[in-house]
Amino acid sequence: MREEIEKLAKLEAELKAGGGEKSIQKQHESGKLTARERLDLFYDKGTFEETDLFVQHHSTNFGMEKVSIPADGVVTGFGKVNGRTVCAYAQDFTARGGTLGEMHARKICHVMDLAMKMKCPMVGFIDSGGARIQEGINALDGYGNIFFRNSCASGVIPQISAIMGPAAGGAVYSPAMTDFVFMVKKTSYMFITGPAVVKSVTGEEIGNEELGGALTHSTKSGVTHFACNDDKQAIEEIKKLLSYLPSSNDEKAPDIAPAEAPAKAGDALNNVLPESSNKTYNMKDVIKALVDNGEFMETSRQFAQNMITAFARMDGHSIGIIANQPQFLAGCLDINASDKATRFIRFCDAFNIPLLTLTDVPGFLPGSQQEWGGIIRHGAKLLWCYAEATVPKITLITRKAYGGAYIAMCSQGLGADYTMAWPMAEIAVMGAEAAADIIFSKEIQSAADPAAAKQQKIDEYRGLLYNPYVAAKMGYINAVVQPAETRAKIIAALEALKNKKETRPYKKHGNIPM
């Protein structure tokens, strides 16, 4: 008995050593933690239970029968993160480069299946040289099985990917199918084809970081939602994100003790808007004054900065915030902003997280590049997902809400449950200058002083329609509120809507404009 116990302990130690001391040292020298170190930081101390430690590949091609890969290059299991169950896998780059073969993929699929059975979040720490070439089609089939599970789990459990090393070729698609992607600056990258292939095919010379590094994907492509400085920061940010989310679509996000608004928040809201509607302000100042402790977690912070998407809490309850940012492109909606908001809204709706929309939008961004790029199609996604969402939806118009963009930012017609506006809000079909040119063009042109006549008509249009009261009289705005009272009004509406039940017509699925 003792001999067998000692044998087991020795075998476990050998397998948990990964690729050995030299490989671990090389991993550290490259600025990366090992797979097991990442999981140790991620899970509450002593709670991680490893699965399939003894799994080995059974490939015999190219001398692979002589090659031992500890745990087949991936650590899988479950444990507690801040007291809640979470499943995870971490690819081990020290063991044959963390390459994915048949059994490696089978381990990942097994823990994904466990996550679905347990109804808990699934987190993947990706650090891999890609498909194990010696295993050929078996490796490719392994990726296919993972992708299938990503699709099945979507909207059922939160899925998070942390790119902490290379991810190339087919390896990038599973992260892209998950809900949120984290990357680490200077040590992680994602691309379909690497620099060598790009150069051979197109002649373009480009490095890993520029082609697919964390900054590239957080600023240009929007593939990653969080770019972190190192592995430790990424892990802490993942844990923070999980604190805002439910374990599955069967639950609501965990509540915490209610907190007060930041000190002098009312004064901040009363004074946030500049006197001129053509001047900018920071919408994040509004968010800070509204949410608990002034704290929020922004997603895709560096991508499509004219749109803010963030998680926060109000009265201790998780909410999702979608807001125009006047500091960038005047808060206009464009292709990237529409896509960014759409994905975030659909995630919140899938996981029972109420939506707060803060509107200050002069319209959709004009121009040939936007039209040729499909702003109609991309903008339609935003309309679609707001209409599709059945979670509580509250909209606050802080200043401008013009034309189709007024509708797209969750108007009452699009399904908002409760719409509010500040008294300085401007709700109209278009800006006063453009409206005057269209409505009064003949009068302006025939006037003795066209410039003065145009200004008179602009002022007339503004006086008639540039306020929230016309919309309020028609019932499109449910309340015109003092800025300082906004937080209390939103909390009251969220409390009233907490048991909201709403259904849509039965269908297999809709055909969202992609």
* Catalytic machinery residues: 169-170, 404-405
Q: Give dist(CA 191, CA 210) in Å, integer.
A: 11
Which of 348, 351, 375, 377 is CA-nearest to residue 511?
377
The Cα-based distances of 52 to 12, 57, 60, 116, 127 in angstroms read 11, 12, 21, 17, 19
For CA atoms 289, 292, 297, 299, the dihedral sign is negative
Q: Give dist(CA 3, CA 20) in Å, integer.
A: 25
Identify the bridge partners of residue 51 per DSSP, sorted by sequence position.
76
What φ, ψ does residue 8 adopt, rounded to 5°?
-65, -45
**How many other CB atoms are found less than 10 A from the CB of residue 148?**
13
Q: Cite the beta strand spans of 223-316 per DSSP E.
A: 226-228, 296-299, 307-314
Q: Give dist(CA 169, CA 149) in Å, integer.
A: 19
Q: Give dist(CA 415, CA 306) in Å, integer.
A: 23
Q: In the block, which residue shows the tokens 């170190």?
A: 37
Contact residues for 308 (Cβ-Cβ < 8 A; gap 6+): 283, 284, 287, 298, 321, 322, 323, 324, 325, 358
Is 35 in contact with 75 (CB distance < 8 Å)? yes
Entry field: residues in the chain:
514
Contact residues for 402 (Cβ-Cβ < 8 A; gap 6+): 361, 362, 363, 426, 427, 428, 429, 430, 431
Tokens of 71: 């745990």
Contact residues for 297 (Cβ-Cβ < 8 A; gap 6+): 240, 241, 244, 310, 311, 312
Strands 74-81 and 84-91: antiparallel
Q: Give dist(CA 67, CA 400) in Å, integer.
A: 65
